Amino acid sequence: MSTGFFVRTLSGSRIFVFAFGFLTFLWFVRWASALGPPTQNSKNTTQIKHFEPPR
């Protein structure tokens, strides 16, 4: 039983790596969506860029 628990812990690290990859995938989807249709965040950044040069 103890050996099976140890193996489960090792496989748990795989699940952790998979979760980390999934979070990275979500971040990539957010980045791609920001490049595609303009979101409120991108609109705010463009407004700041437009307002900065006159200053």
- pLDDT tens across 1-55, in order? 577 776 677 677 888 888 899 999 999 988 888 776 555 555 555 555 555 555 5
Alpha-carbon distances, residue 13 vs 26, 27, 38 (angstroms):
20, 21, 37
pLDDT reported for residue 4: 74
pLDDT reported for residue 11: 72
E-state strands within 1-55: none
Listed by start position, the domains of the chain span 2-51
What's the first-to-final CA gap in the chain, in angstroms? 70
The CA distance from 47 to 5, in Å, is: 55
Single pTM value for the model: 0.39
pLDDT reported for residue 27: 92
pLDDT reported for residue 40: 53
Contact, 33 vs 39, CB < 8 A?
yes
Handedness of CA 28, 32, 35, 40 (dihedral sign): negative
